[in-house]
Amino acid sequence: MSQDSFIRRYVFSTDHKIIGIQYILTGFAMALVGAWLSVLIRLQLAWPLRLWPWLETLMPNGYLGGVMAPEFYVALVTMHGTIMVFFFISYVLVSGFGNYLVPLQIGARDMAFPFLNMLSYWIALLSALVMLASFLVEGGAAAAGWTAYPPLSAVASAMPGSGLGQSVWLLSMALFIASFTMSGLNIVATVFTLRAPGMSMWRLPLTIWSYFISAILGLLAFPPLTAAAIMLLFDRHLGTSFFLPGGMVVANQVLEHQGGSPLLWQHLFWFLGHPEVYVLILPALGIAADIMPVFTRKPLFGYRISVWSLIGVGVLSMIVWGHHMFVSGMSPFTGEYFSLATMLITIPMAVYGVNMMASLWGGTMRLTTPMLFALGALAFFGTGGFGGIFLGNATADMQLHDTYFVVGHFHLMIGGVTLLGTFAAVYFWFPKMFGRLMSPVLGRIHFWGTFAPFFTIFFAQHFLGLQGMPRRYYAFSTYEYLEGTQSQNVIITVVVLVLVAVQFVFAFNFVWSLLRGATASENPWEATTLEWTVASPPPHGNFGDAAPDVHRWAYEYSAEGQSSDYAPQTVTSSDVPVTA
Amino acid sequence: MSEAAVGVATRWAGGVCPFDAGWKKVMMWVFIITDGLLFAGFLAAYGYARLMSGVWPDQTEVFSLPFIAAMTFVLITSSATMATAVWASETGQTASARRYVTFTLVGGLTFLGMQAYEWTHFIGEGARLASNPWGDPLFAAYFFLLTGFHGSHVLTGLIVLTKTVLGLSTGKTPVANVEMAGLYWHFVDLVWVFIFTFFYLI
């Protein structure tokens, strides 16, 4: 097949930009599924006793007789979490924009190993399809939560979703981990070895630092989960008892398993699970911090301290996993250690957030759509972060664990910060990707229609949690003490419907701008990083024959006594003085 | 700035790899760390189970430690021949490199053969994934898990070594690939040292 054929250029392409866009489109398609599941969850929570005949026609197994089946509800919760974490945010933000931006911003022609990169995308797509297929197998999709705690995930007869659905879930996750590892290896090797001349580590934009650290964290955190998943497969199919204690009774039968511990799974899972949330959120924070100087026209505040904060967060994130397990019967001394370590991680995170705020101080604001989303991400980061302080303390967590306080907290953080960071990235780099500008009016509608509902939903859920409303329950009508929460749940559901509806404005804006948007120049935002020095969209190989020469950091704004108020990283020191 | 500091600054200034190695080797190192953490996960799980277990069998009664020590000796010797092969390849002695990679291959095969014998013996005495005659059912489960996954890595290493030998014969294998095969082989040996120490000795 020739190098120039359509298939080689746009389908089986080894160009990091095409692969990035493929990841982004796949991720958004998965987000539609994840959002649909959340609508079903919310309908059930708002009107638990209602009949839904039209949903029964759509999903006869989930809505037997028009009422949602409890097993179906837990499968929905499981799959919503899995899809949003692993197939939306990981694909769009981490792999998608990671692939697109890393070579462009460090001045490389492509990733270190383009073929591996392509392989990683196709395995990722397969993994997503396998995950979707699990809805169709006997017993339905996995229902043990996105954390797949045994025994529900280990004993095939425990509930309908524990059967084939859980096996398919594990298969899909194995493919996902393989693909994510390939992608991470590429990012780390690329940043180490392919930086353009003059692009020292201290001149990397924060975006690249955040992708670099996120990739390292992913590479360190996923293997222990792989080990655990292999052991879980052994327990499920080969009769071992790694995660299963003796004397368990399922369906009136004593299981033969003995000697294992479900807590072991929790440790191995959260050893991945906690760094994983930083794998997702760091790129959003890096992107938001990098977008701010562009639209305040002043240098980023505290660049080096922000980098050290990212590194500090990366290190600390590996040693705090136990704060997800305070109620598991943990020794109080261990609990105290994990509380302390968790408090410690708030320090670099707070430093990073304050640096972002200080970057706004005294700036000449241009409230474009990407800037609005970056500011929104900062707002969610602050609010969600405060919730984290409550949950990181073992004493407070005893009360709040597995309530909607937790749901509200992590949706603001790895749901909200990453979602707004993703949108900021789409609006910011859309002109570079497709050579056209997105509509700012529709962008503004999309921002307010996302920011306000999202905040309302998940801020309110903190209070539901304080009232003791537990997560993952399928109906609350039988609990007297929760009667007062019903009206709040109805309001939240209505706001969710608004939030989902507004996302179609984004979809319309995306497609319309792709076809009819105004043509974008090379550098429509007047930004300084390397991708803005080449054509929109950049050609294959990005920078032509010679790598760009880098002479300065990425935040040269408001340079004094110059004709323009910014200097791209390629401008030499004889033209504009170098400040860092 | 001192001379060393200038050296560090230019190393990391972009345009070159800071480690005097191509991206392939850097990627191999990162992969090895990742793969090492897979075994760290298995070993940590094993440690957890061991601490939880009331009665862990006495390994000296179950296994013939001299035999395991011989296995370890074979594998470490193969690491030495591999190091020699890498050195020979780097100094341009391709024929010698091919010979030493072949020695490594023989060492790896011997190790796998000895492991197959050990498994057969162990299974013959009644060990199964879910149960075993010596008490805690997890004892045999972790035995098969740890040695099985290590064995599968040795097998992968043998495939890589075979490819290296063939490539050295036809002159298609560059020095960097011999080095990378060497890195992987040393890693597989290192993992065995941990398994030997934590599963058989302690």
In the beta sheet, which residues pair with residue A566? A557
Q: What secondary structure, in 3-state letters, does A454-468 show? A: HHHHHHHHHHHHHCC
Q: What is the pLDDT of residue A3?
A: 63
**Residue A504, CB half-sphere, CA atoms under 13 Å: how many?**
5
Whether residues A193 and B49 touch (CB distance < 8 A) is answered with no
| Per-residue CA distances from B23 to A111, A190, A418, B31, B184 (Å) | 10, 7, 30, 12, 16
Calculate how close chain B gets to A263, using CA atoms only, in Å. Answer: 10
Using a CB-CB cut-off of 8 Å, the residues of chain A touching B13 are 197-200
Q: What is the pLDDT of residue B3?
A: 64
Hey, what amino acid is at A107? G
Interface test with A, best of B34, B51, B55, B142 (most A CBs within 10 A): B34
Tell me the per-residue pLDDT of A258-307, one tens digit each, with 9 for 90 and over.
Answer: 889 999 999 999 998 999 999 999 999 999 999 999 999 999 999 999 99
Q: CA A432 to CA A434: how far, in whole Å?
A: 6
Tell me the per-residue pLDDT of A524-546, one tens digit each, with 9 for 90 and over.
Answer: 999 999 999 999 999 999 998 88
Helix axes A206-237, A164-193, angle to 10 degrees: 150
Q: What is the pLDDT of residue B8?
A: 80
Query: In this structure, are residues A165 and A137 in contact, taking their beta carbons and an 8 Å threshold?
Result: yes
Using a CB-CB cut-off of 8 Å, the residues of chain A touching B14 are 106-107, 195-200, 203, 550
Helices (H) and strands (E) in chain B, counts: 7, 0
Tell me the per-residue pLDDT of A109-133, one tens digit each, with 9 for 90 and over.
Answer: 999 999 999 999 999 999 999 999 9
> B95: Cβ–Cβ under 8 A, 6 or more apart, which residues?
none
Q: What is the pLDDT of residue A535?
A: 94
Q: Is B22's Cβ below 8 Å from some Cβ in A?
A: yes
In the beta sheet, which residues pair with residue A403? A470
Provide the H-helix boundaries in B54-174: 59-62, 65-90, 94-124, 137-170
Q: How many pairs of residues across A and B have Cβ atoms under 8 Å apart? A: 132
Tell me the per-residue pLDDT of A328-373, one tens digit each, with 9 for 90 and over.
Answer: 988 999 999 999 999 999 999 999 999 999 999 988 899 999 999 9
Interface test with B, best of A106, A187, A192 (most B CBs within 10 A): A192
Whether residues B37 and A220 touch (CB distance < 8 A) is answered with yes
**Residue A557, CB half-sphere, CA atoms under 13 Å: how many?**
25
Break chain B into its structural domains and give their ranges.
22-201
Q: Is B41's Cβ below 8 Å from some Cβ in A?
A: yes
Q: CA A533 to CA A544: how far, in whole Å?
A: 12
Calculate how close chain A gets to B43, using CA atoms only, in Å. Answer: 10
Report chain B's C-alpha Rg in angstroms.
Answer: 20
CATH for A200-244+255-518 (1.10.3810.10, 1.20.1250.20, 1.20.210.10, 1.10.1740.10): 1.20.210.10
Query: In this structure, are residues B164 and B174 in contact, taking their beta carbons and an 8 Å threshold?
Result: no
The class of domain B22-201 in CATH terms is mainly alpha
pLDDT tens for chain A, 580 residues long, are: 456 788 888 889 999 999 999 999 999 999 999 999 999 999 999 998 889 999 999 998 889 889 999 999 999 999 999 999 999 999 999 999 999 999 999 999 999 999 999 999 999 999 999 999 999 999 899 999 999 999 999 999 888 889 999 999 999 999 999 999 999 999 999 999 999 999 999 999 999 999 999 999 999 999 999 999 999 999 999 999 999 998 899 888 899 898 899 999 999 999 989 999 999 999 999 999 999 999 999 999 999 999 999 999 999 999 999 999 999 988 999 999 999 999 999 999 999 999 999 999 988 899 999 999 999 999 999 999 999 999 999 999 999 999 999 999 999 999 999 999 999 999 999 999 999 999 999 999 999 999 999 999 999 999 999 999 999 998 888 889 998 899 999 999 999 999 999 999 999 999 999 999 999 999 999 999 999 999 999 999 999 888 899 999 999 998 776 678 899 999 988 888 887 7
Provide the sign of the torsion angle of the four alpha carbons A55, A59, A63, A66, taken in this order.
positive
Q: What is the pLDDT of residue A2?
A: 58
Q: Is B145's Cβ below 8 Å from some Cβ in A?
A: yes
> What are residue B16's phi and psi, to 5 degrees?
-135, 160
Tell me the per-residue pLDDT of B17-72, one tens digit each, with 9 for 90 and over.
Answer: 888 888 999 999 999 999 999 999 999 999 999 999 888 999 989 999 999 999 99
Calculate how close chain A gets to B13, using CA atoms only, in Å. Answer: 4
Selection from B89, B82, B84 nearest residue B168 by Cα: B89
Long-range interactions of B87-94: CB distance < 8 A, separation 24+: B89/B168, B89/B175, B89/B178, B89/B179, B90/B175, B90/B178, B90/B179, B94/B168, B94/B171
At B1, the pLDDT band (50, 70, 90 cuts) reads: very low
Report chain A's C-alpha Rg in angstroms.
Answer: 24
Q: Is B8's Cβ below 8 Å from some Cβ in A?
A: no
Tell me the per-residue pLDDT of B109-123, one tens digit each, with 9 for 90 and over.
Answer: 999 999 999 999 999
Q: What is the pLDDT of residue A448?
A: 98
Which of A188, A264, A550 is closest, CB to CB, to B45?
A264
Q: What pTM does this model have?
A: 0.95
Whether residues B23 and A107 touch (CB distance < 8 A) is answered with no
Provide the H-helix boundaries in A417-479: 418-434, 440-466
Using a CB-CB cut-off of 8 Å, the residues of chain A touching B23 are 112-113, 189-190, 192-194
Provide the sign of the torsion angle of the four alpha carbons A462, A467, A470, A474, taken in this order.
negative
Q: CA A121 to CA A132: how far, in whole Å?
A: 17
3-state SS class at A253: strand
Structure token pair of residue A204:
């990397």
Q: CA B71 to CA B62: how far, in whole Å?
A: 16
Structure token pair of residue B192:
């065995």
CB atoms within 10 A of CB A420: 27
Selection from A508, A519, A497, A492 nearest residue A445 by Cα: A508
**Alpha carbon of residue A375 to chain centroid:** 18
Whether residues A227 and B45 touch (CB distance < 8 A) is answered with yes
Whether residues A226 and B48 touch (CB distance < 8 A) is answered with no
